[in-house]
Every structure is written in C-alpha cells, then in structure tokens.
C-alpha cells in the first residue's frame, strides 16, 4: 500500500511539471527564467528540489533553490543574491550564449553572475536530484555548481572547503546574511564564529580548553567537511557526528540557524515535516552575541536575555542590540562605583589578565583608572578588566563574578541590584525561542544510541562522544587538570569505563556487602582491582533494554559531572546483567543522619543549610546547564548522599532512562513513579503526579521544597508523618499562616534537636524558598537556578515586602 501511494506520488510529482509549461529540468544557452512568469522554475528529476525566484520581502526576490516536496512550504537551501534582492520589474536569470548564468534586475542591471565567461564549453544549466544546480559541458562535467557557494545550509554530499563558509540568516524570516558563520579557520579547525558590528568571537569549539583536548586536530590541512547520505557528518579536523535517524532514506540538511546553533534537520514521507535529528549541544547561552552588549543570558528555565537592573533595551524587537546603560560612560573617576553580579560572566574582550593572586580592591582600582574599562570579571583571585561587556551568561555554577562600572549614584540603589532572575520572571526578559533546538526526547535517546555504536568499540570514537556530548564535562576537566593531549588520556581522566561482570563480581567479593537499596536494585560495596578505589555497585533489576541501548543511556549519565552529583564511574552490560559503578561516599544518605534517633549525632544547622544549597546546585545543573531534559524524578533525602565533609551529592539521577518506558523526560518519570510509589516516597511527589498532568522540571522543584522543609523541621515527609499526601507541607503552611495572623517567629517549626543553635534569618529564608517551591501550581514555583540564587541571598523572593517582616506577604493560596 505504502509503495503504491509512493509510486502514485512520484508519478504525480513527475507528471505535474509537464502540466505547467514553465517548469523544466534544464536551461539551454540563451534561455531564461523570468520573475514575471508564475511558476517559472527548474525542477530536479524526481521533483525534490526546485530553483527559481523566491519572494523575500515586499517586491524583493532572490534566485534560490528550495525543497519542493511540500507545496506552499518552501525550505530554501541556497540563494544566489541573498543580500541583493531584485524587484519584479523585468528581472530574470539568464544563461547567456557565452555560458554565463546572469541575474539581471530591471533597475540595476547585472546583480550576480557565475564566473564562467572564460569557459567556451558550457552547454546547459541543470538542477540535480541532490539539490545541486550545475552548469555542465558537453562531457557532463560541472563547470560551475551551486554546491561550491553554500549560504546557510549544507546538503548531503555538499562539501565545506577551505574556501566556503556557511552564514546564518539574519532572523527567522529574514534571508539576509546574519552574524554567525561556520567555517574552517587558518588553523584547519571548523569554527562557529559570531561577527557583530564591532566585535567578533569564536564560540565553538569552546575556547576555554585547547582544541585537541576536545578531540579535534589542527594538523590535517585538508580542510574538508561534509555530511553523507547516511546522516554522518565528518570533518578533517575530526569533528564527527551521526544524526539520530542514521541511515539512508530521509532527506537531510545541515543548517546554521539564525540563533547561531548548528542543526541537522530530516524529512521524509508521507508528511514531509522537518524534524531536528541532531544539534550542537553547547547550551544556548554559550552562543555569542545573542543578548548584545550588557545583556545577560540566563536559564529561567528557558534561555532568556535580561538587562542589568536600571538598564534598558536598545531595541525592544532585537535582543542582539543589547542594553543601554542609564548613564553616560564618560563620568568622572571620582564618582565611579561597581554593580556586582555573582555567578555571571561576560565572555572575552579582556583588556588584560592579572592572575598573580590579585585582590578585589586591586582589580577594582585597575578598572576604575582605565577609561576603556567598562567592568571586570573576578574569579580565583584573577582579574579580567573588559572593554566590551558582551556574551553575558549567568549560571548557578559559574565561579566568576562580574562587576559593572556605574556612577556612584546608581550603585547606591544596589540593594535589589541583582534581581536579574526576578526581572525575567516578571516578564521584562525575552524568552529565546529554542523550540527547534530541543529535539523530542525520543530523538535524543536515539541520538545517543547512534553515538554509542562507535563509542563502545574504539577510543577514537570515544572522542567523538566527548566532543559532541561532553562540553560540560570537558570544561570541568580542563579547569582542574593539565590539558590532555590525546583522546585516550581524556578517557582516563573521565574514569568512565566498561567493566566485565567477572571484574565486578570480584570487586564485591561475589556481592557480599550490601550497602543500600535504591530505585531499581541493590547497591553493593566494592573495591576495584587497583586496591584503592572503593566503589558502590548497583545491580539493576528489571532493566530489559538491550546492551546497545543500555550503553547509550549509560553514556549520557556517565558524562554528567558536577560536584553535587554522584559520579558514575562505569557500567557493565553482559548478557542479562546490567550494573552501574558509582563513586563511594563516606557519610551515607541524608535521611540516615537527619532522621536518626541518635541524639548525640544531630546534623547541625550550618551543614543543613549547605546541604540545601549544594543539592539545589546539583539539580540546577541537571535541569539547565548540561542537559536540559534530565529530570531527577525522585528527589528525597535517601538520594542525597554526603561525603566526608558533609557535602551533598545527588544520587540516582538519570535512572529513569533505564526504566521500561525509558523515553526520557516526563514519561520516563512516570515509569519511575510507579516504582517510587511502591517504595513509599509519596511525601515528595508534586501534585502533577496525582492529577496526571505533564511532569516537568518543576516536579523536582517541588520535591526539593519538601526536602528543605525536612531540613528545617527534622521531620520526614514520608514514613510516620507521611500518611497523607503532602502532610508535612500542609502542616508547615498552617503554622506559617497562623504566625501571619498572630505574629511571632517560626521557632516552633524548627527541629527541637538543634536546641536553638541556628541562624533564624537562614531558617526563615529556607522556609520562604521552600514554600515557593511547593506551590500547587507549577508555574508559580521558581526554576532551580532561581532557587540557588535565592538561597545564596543574591536574589530576593518576589512578593515580599520589607525584610523586617518577611513572613507577612507570603501568598498562600491553596484553596
């Protein structure tokens, strides 16, 4: 049936052109395509591509090639004159008798032409089924081809060479050349580059580590890159990837989109819809130039541009123009002050770098005295005075603090100066549209599976996985270690490896010492062959995934690396066995300490607070920074492990990937939910679970809110008190409401075992944030990065009046 329909389709497609006198397959010398004749087009033999004039604006047209499979929805893949559109007044594309293809505009004459005048042998112009528009000679050789001058798209088989470059569109509906380009640089490496009106900078490969540490090479001077029919992209600098729908069949294109991200789209019958099957996963906020000067990109939780408080938008319709300061930069030195932005960085444009144990005062002084300095970054006692504040990015784990130079009068108002997140919540920020950048979870899953096929076999392919998937990882590695020279070294640094079942059996002395039972199976203590490394080995139960699929998922989890997340060191997949090897942590899980009846061993307040902050950072990282689609789904004290310094590390994240429904995202959470319920962790579940709504990152926020309440009260939300759904939450809310009417403090709520030894301001802050997190409506809950900001005291919770009576305005609307 399908074949029949297809044949019919092909038949129609190939017959249709002939029903229209103007659609043809080739132009001979002396022929032209006119802008005036409706449907005057060249079509490829099977009708996949067409070439002709496309309207790009009011009375503005460009000679283009587009996908012609969907009438009415033309996807342009090439343009001759993208920056010089022509008008309808007698414009045409003409193959003159000398063999030159010329675009003539009535008003301006020759607008564009091929450089083939010197060739005497040009015979005709032809649009091939590959999408290549070619001038051929008598022998069928190409004298000129559109593939040699791409615009923003590479088609399968089309090469990116030392002489070609992809340039993004200016905007979604605007074909003019934009600010982003993808090309080989002089060092033989393919780069993504932002070129703004004043400045330009490279944002891929990431510049904070060496090219070779990211698995690329600059020694192969061939400078060739291309995607093949199977969906594999390979480049002479070792930038390789497979699209998730690897294989022959679908039509694909690699496009540098107007937002600066590289994506592979794929389309097939019967509906011919474009689907993202690969994208460059560097985090939208890492694309340069996006938020303009002074603008700061934050994940809230969608990537969003914001201006520093007091600054205004230069152009409300175009974020890349950035923000305008409310002062003139020529203010006199005496009245200079600085606004402070923790966990923020403006990338690049350093006037200088002072790294010799510089003091903040010294750095401030340096910037104050230099009239070129607009602000500075400061981290690890290193000072980065900057002459342009661009590529701003704020993430919970950024070690850098930014100081923006302002007149004293303005700094005086610094009080709420850091309410960046707030301003985005109240709508003054713009959401950057990334909907096309986030492939549906099924795609992602498949994507990793594909990567993995290579990954398992060879170390070389390992690099590929790292390049494409491991940015967060690599950044961390390179921060803490010497640059690594070869892929296999990186492999060692990661420590992530595959174990045999025999190895793990030996390490655990035949699984003799059980140390816990988490979701999906028992955990055993083990000692690796080196005799030094103690590990926790989880034997997964009920995982029915095949080996390859399992590897794929493990690879995703294995590359997640953050100080507040338990490291996955390796895995084993042999026959029916599925095991995960984790780092081993000293102090076991939070529940054992927090709810212990041992009065001599009470977790002190300081530790409780830092556990809250650390856990929030780990979650924020999972949700926003590395992989936006990793939800934890089961945040509870049992899954918060503590190291010897009582630093929290979240365990069991990514487990949903191994569940039956393992589709990633919310669906996988549901799979996990069934397990969780059986284990009695209802006390932590967001209302979405119960009413069967969509599960998002805000469900984790809810669970984390409950954990915060537990930290304060020392009472468990599950277990004895957890009989009814959200009993602990309701209990705290009632108490707070009571206080609101009767006045007084919250002491009554605080864990008695602390014996009054705590910081009341911190307790109140933790309670306030916790109650925001457990709002019934998920839209009212803050994103995890906002929670980090609130807990670190940089951001004020909204809806609060004076700090003196912080409890007054808690909007508790739980009707």
State which residue, 156 or 292, has the beta carbon closest to ligand NAG.
156
Q: Show the tokens assigned to 181.
A: 């380009």
Strand partners, 392: 296, 346
Candidates 64-72, 275-283, 422-430, 705-713 — which segment interacts with ligand NAG by CB under 6 A?
A: 422-430
Looking from the CA of 426 toward its CB, the CA atoms found within 13 Å total: 10
Q: Show the tokens assigned to 433.
A: 């549209």
Q: Under the criterion CB under 6 A, does residue 423 sit at the interface with ligand NAG?
A: yes
> What is the closest distance, in whole angstroms, from the C-beta atom of residue 44 to ligand NAG in the complex?
8
By CB under 6 A, name the one of 75, 236, 391, 400 that touches ligand NAG.
236
> What is the closest distance, in whole angstroms, from the C-beta atom of residue 435 to ligand NAG in the complex?
4
Candidates 145-153, 270-278, 323-331, 402-410 — which segment interacts with ligand NAG by CB under 6 A?
A: 323-331
Candidates 290-298, 326-334, 742-750, 799-807 — which segment interacts with ligand NAG by CB under 6 A?
A: 326-334
DSSP conformation class of 683: G
Q: Under the criterion CB under 6 A, does residue 433 sit at the interface with ligand NAG?
A: yes
Candidates 21-29, 236-244, 262-270, 596-604 — which segment interacts with ligand NAG by CB under 6 A?
A: 236-244
State which residue, 382 or 740, has the beta carbon closest to ligand NAG.
382
State which residue, 366 or 587, has the beta carbon closest to ligand NAG.
366
Estimate the share of the chain in helix, then strand, then coil, as percent rounded to the nearest 5. 30, 25, 45
Q: Under the criterion CB under 6 A, does residue 408 sit at the interface with ligand NAG?
A: no
Between the two ends of the chain, the Cα-to-Cα distance in Å is: 56
Neighbours of 412 (CB within 10 A): 11
By CB under 6 A, name the one of 61, 66, 241, 646 that touches ligand NAG.
241
Looking from the CA of 813 toward its CB, the CA atoms found within 13 Å total: 7
Q: Show the tokens assigned to 98.
A: 């000398």
Q: Under the criterion CB under 6 A, does residue 718 sit at the interface with ligand NAG?
A: no
Q: Under the criterion CB under 6 A, does residue 426 sit at the interface with ligand NAG?
A: yes
State which residue, 362 or 534, has the beta carbon closest to ligand NAG.
362
Candidates 219-227, 280-288, 571-579, 676-684 — which segment interacts with ligand NAG by CB under 6 A?
A: 219-227
By CB under 6 A, name the one of 201, 366, 596, 740 that touches ligand NAG.
366
Give the rounded distance of the alpha carbon of 519 from its chain centre.
Answer: 28
State which residue, 233 or 702, has the beta carbon closest to ligand NAG.
233
Please provide residue 806's backbone torsions phi and psi, each rounded to the nearest 5 degrees.
-65, -15
Per-residue x/- marks for ligand NAG, 332-361, CB under 6 A? -------------------------x----
Angle between helices 487-494 and 471-480 (to 10 degrees): 90
405 is in an annotated binding site: no
By CB under 6 A, name the one of 153, 242, 243, 508 that touches ligand NAG.
242
**Residue 25's closest CA among 7, 41, 11, 9?**
41
Q: Under the criterion CB under 6 A, does residue 382 sit at the interface with ligand NAG?
A: no
Cα-atom radius of gyration of the chain, to the nearest Å? 30
Q: Which burial class, exposed, middle or buried, applies to 762 when counting CB atoms under 10 A from its CB (0-12, 13-18, 19+)? A: middle
Residue given tokens 């492999």 in the structure block: 491
Q: Which strands sit side by side in the sheet containing 344-346, from one edge to the other?
A: 344-346, 392-394, 296-299, 303-306, 430-431
> What is the closest distance, in whole angstroms, from the C-beta atom of residue 427 to ligand NAG in the complex?
5
CB 403 within 8 A of CB 370: no
DSSP conformation class of 501: H
Residue given tokens 């099924």 in the structure block: 442
Q: Under the criterion CB under 6 A, does residue 327 sit at the interface with ligand NAG?
A: yes
By CB under 6 A, name the one of 36, 141, 187, 365 that touches ligand NAG.
365
Give the rounded distance of the alpha carbon of 717 from its chain centre.
Answer: 33
Q: Under the criterion CB under 6 A, does residue 161 sit at the interface with ligand NAG?
A: no
Q: Show the tokens assigned to 50.
A: 């067409």
Per-residue x/- marks for ligand NAG, 28-47, CB under 6 A? ------------------x-
Q: Show the tokens assigned to 44.
A: 């490829």
Candidates 322-330, 485-493, 527-535, 672-680 — which segment interacts with ligand NAG by CB under 6 A?
A: 322-330
Candidates 433-441, 547-555, 701-709, 767-775 — which segment interacts with ligand NAG by CB under 6 A?
A: 433-441
Give the rounded distance of the alpha carbon of 3 from its chain centre.
Answer: 39
In the range 453-492, which residues lie near ligand NAG by CB under 6 A? 453-454, 461, 464
DSSP 693-759: ----HHHHHHHHHHHHHHHHH---SSGGGGSSTTHHHHHHHHHHHHHHHH---SGGGS-GGGTT-S-
State which residue, 12 or 117, has the beta carbon closest to ligand NAG.
12
- Return the C-alpha torsion angle 230, 233, 238, 239, nearest 10: -140
Q: Under the criterion CB under 6 A, does residue 317 sit at the interface with ligand NAG?
A: no
> What is the closest distance, in whole angstroms, from the C-beta atom of residue 495 to ligand NAG in the complex?
22
**Residue 61's closest CA among 27, 105, 26, 101?**
105
State which residue, 451 or 758, has the beta carbon closest to ligand NAG.
451
State which residue, 47 or 654, has the beta carbon closest to ligand NAG.
47
- The residue annotated as part of the active site, out of 634, 652, 700, 795, is 634
> What is the closest distance, in whole angstroms, from the C-beta atom of residue 327 to ligand NAG in the complex?
5
Q: Under the criterion CB under 6 A, does residue 20 sit at the interface with ligand NAG?
A: no
State which residue, 453 or 613, has the beta carbon closest to ligand NAG.
453
Q: Under the criterion CB under 6 A, does residue 326 sit at the interface with ligand NAG?
A: yes
State which residue, 305 or 536, has the beta carbon closest to ligand NAG.
305
State which residue, 365 or 734, has the beta carbon closest to ligand NAG.
365
Residues 6+ apart with CB under 8 A from 162: 184, 223
By CB under 6 A, name the one of 218, 232, 382, 596 that touches ligand NAG.
232
In the range 285-314, which residues lie near ligand NAG by CB under 6 A? 309
Q: Under the criterion CB under 6 A, does residue 329 sit at the interface with ligand NAG?
A: no
By CB under 6 A, name the one of 59, 89, 115, 222 that touches ligand NAG.
222
Q: Under the criterion CB under 6 A, does residue 151 sit at the interface with ligand NAG?
A: no
| Number of residues lying near ligand NAG (CB under 6 A) | 35
Task: Give the C-alpha separation, 774 to 708, whole Å.
Answer: 10
Residue given tokens 């076999």 in the structure block: 457
Task: Give the C-alpha separation, 267 to 276, whole Å.
Answer: 9
- Return the C-alpha torsion angle 230, 232, 235, 239, nearest 10: 180
Candidates 427-435, 511-519, 583-591, 621-629 — which segment interacts with ligand NAG by CB under 6 A?
A: 427-435
* SS3 letters across 575-634: CCEEEEEEECCCCCEHHHHHCCCCHHHCCCHHHHHHHHHHHHHHHHHHHHHCCCCCCCCC
> What is the closest distance, in whole angstroms, from the C-beta atom of residue 796 to ligand NAG in the complex?
9
Beta strands in 441-591 (DSSP E): 497-498, 514-518, 521-527, 534-539, 568-574, 577-583
Q: Under the criterion CB under 6 A, does residue 246 sit at the interface with ligand NAG?
A: yes
> What is the closest distance, in whole angstroms, from the C-beta atom of residue 2 to ligand NAG in the complex?
13
Is 634 one of the annotated active-site residues of the chain? yes
Per-residue x/- marks for ligand NAG, 435-454, CB under 6 A? xx-------------xx-xx
Q: Do β-strands 142-145 and 133-137 pair in parallel, antiparallel, or remain unpaired?
A: antiparallel
Q: Show the tokens assigned to 622.
A: 């999972």
Residues 6+ apart with CB under 8 A from 780: 772
Q: Under the criterion CB under 6 A, does residue 328 sit at the interface with ligand NAG?
A: yes
| Residues of each annotated binding site | 538
| Residues of each annotated binding site for ATP | 538
Residues at the contact surface with ligand NAG, assessed by CB under 6 A = 10, 46, 129, 220, 222, 224, 232, 236, 240-242, 246, 309, 326-328, 357, 362, 365-366, 419, 422-423, 426-428, 433, 435-436, 450-451, 453-454, 461, 464
Catalytic residue set: 634
């Amino acid at each position: 049936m399908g074949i029949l329909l297809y044949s019919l389709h092909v038949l129609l497609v190939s017959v249709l052109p002939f029903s229209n006198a103007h659609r043809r397959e080739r132009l001979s010398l002396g022929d032209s395509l006119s802008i005036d004749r409706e449907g005057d087009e060249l079509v490829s033999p099977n009708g996949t591509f067409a070439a002709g004039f496309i309207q790009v604006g009011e009375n503005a047209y460009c000679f283009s090639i587009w996908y012609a499979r969907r009438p009415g929805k033309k996807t342009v893949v090439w343009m001759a004159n993208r920056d010089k559109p022509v008008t309808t007044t007698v414009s045409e594309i003409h193959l003159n008798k000398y063999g030159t293809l010329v675009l003539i505009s009535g008003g301006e004459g020759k607008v564009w032409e091929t450089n083939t005048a010197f060739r005497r042998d040009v015979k005709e112009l032809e649009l091939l089924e590959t999408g290549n528009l070619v001038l051929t000679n008598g022998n069928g050789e190409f004298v000129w081809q559109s593939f040699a001058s791409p615009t923003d798209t590479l088609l399968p088989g089309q090469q990116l060479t030392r002489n070609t470059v992809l340039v993004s569109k200016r905007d979604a509906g605007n074909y003019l050349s934009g600010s982003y380009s993808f090309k080989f640089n002089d060092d033989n490496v393919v780069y993504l580059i932002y070129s703004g009106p004043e400045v330009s900078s490279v944002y891929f490969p990431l510049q904070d580590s060496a090219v070779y540490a990211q698995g690329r090479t600059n020694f192969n001077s061939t400078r060739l890159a291309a995607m093949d029919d199977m969906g594999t992209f390979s480049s002479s600098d070792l930038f390789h990837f497979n699209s998730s729908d690897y294989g022959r069949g679908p039509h694909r294109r690699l496009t540098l989109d107007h937002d600066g991200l590289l994506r592979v789209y794929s389309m097939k019958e019967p509906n011919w819809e474009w689907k993202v099957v690969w994208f460059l996963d560097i985090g939208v906020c890492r694309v340069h130039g996006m938020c303009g000067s002074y603008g700061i990109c934050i994940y809230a939780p969608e990537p969003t541009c914001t201006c520093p408080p007091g600054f205004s938008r230069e152009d409300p319709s175009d974020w890349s123009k950035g923000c305008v300061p409310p002062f003139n930069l020529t203010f006199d030195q005496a009245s200079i002050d600085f606004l402070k932005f923790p966990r923020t960085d403006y990338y690049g444009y350093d006037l200088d770098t002072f790294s010799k144990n510089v003091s903040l005062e010294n750095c401030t002084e340096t910037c104050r005295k230099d009239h070129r300095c607009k602000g500075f970054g400061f981290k690890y006692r290193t000072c980065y005075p900057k002459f342009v504040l661009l590529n701003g990015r704020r993430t919970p784990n950024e070690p850098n603090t930014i100081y923006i130079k302002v007149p004293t009068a303005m700094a005086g108002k610094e009080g709420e100066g850091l309410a960046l997140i707030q301003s985005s919540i109240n709508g003054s920020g713009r959401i950057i549209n990334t909907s096309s950048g986030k492939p549906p979870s099924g795609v992602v899953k498949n994507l990793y599976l594909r990567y993995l096929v290579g990954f398992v076999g060879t170390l070389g392919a390992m690099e590929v996985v790292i390049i494409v998937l491991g940015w967060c990882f690599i950044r961390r590695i390179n921060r803490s270690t010497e640059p690594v020279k070869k892929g296999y070294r990186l492999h060692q640094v990661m420590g992530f490896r595959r174990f045999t079942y025999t190895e793990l059996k030996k390490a655990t002395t035949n699984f003799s010492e059980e140390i816990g039972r988490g979701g999906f199976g028992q955990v055993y203590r083990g000692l690796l062959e080196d005799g030094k490394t103690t590990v926790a080995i989880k034997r997964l139960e009920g995982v029915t995934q095949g080996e390859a699929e399992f590897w794929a998922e493990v690879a995703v989890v294995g590359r997640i690396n953050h100080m507040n997340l338990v490291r996955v060191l390796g895995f084993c997949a042999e026959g029916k066995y599925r095991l995960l090897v984790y780092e081993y942590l000293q102090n076991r899980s939070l529940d054992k300490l927090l709810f212990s009846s041992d009065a001599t061993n009470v977790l002190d307040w300081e530790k409780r607070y830092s556990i809250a902050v650390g856990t929030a950072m780990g979650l924020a990282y999972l949700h926003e920074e590395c992989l936006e689609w990793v939800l934890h789904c089961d945040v509870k004290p049992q899954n918060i492990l503590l190291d010897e310094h009582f630093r929290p590390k979240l365990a069991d994240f990514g487990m949903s990937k191994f569940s039956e429904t393992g589709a990633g995202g919310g669906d996988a959470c549901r799979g996990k939910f069934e397990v969780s319920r059986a284990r009695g962790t209802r006390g932590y579940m967001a209302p979405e679970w119960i009413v069967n709504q969509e599960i998002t990152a805000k469900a984790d926020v809810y669970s984390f809110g409950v954990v915060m309440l537990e930290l304060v009260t020392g009472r468990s939300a599950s277990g004895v008190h957890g009989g009814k759904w959200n009993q602990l939450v309701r209990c705290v809310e009632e108490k707070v409401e009571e206080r609101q009417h009767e006045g007084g403090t919250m002491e009554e709520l605080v864990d008695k075992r602390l014996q009054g030894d705590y910081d009341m301001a911190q307790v109140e802050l933790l309670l306030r944030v916790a109650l925001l997190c457990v709002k019934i409506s998920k839209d009212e809950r803050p994103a995890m990065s906002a929670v980090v900001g609130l807990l670190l005291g940089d951001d004020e919770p909204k809806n609060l009046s004076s700090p003196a009576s912080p409890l007054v305005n808690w909007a508790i609307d739980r009707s």
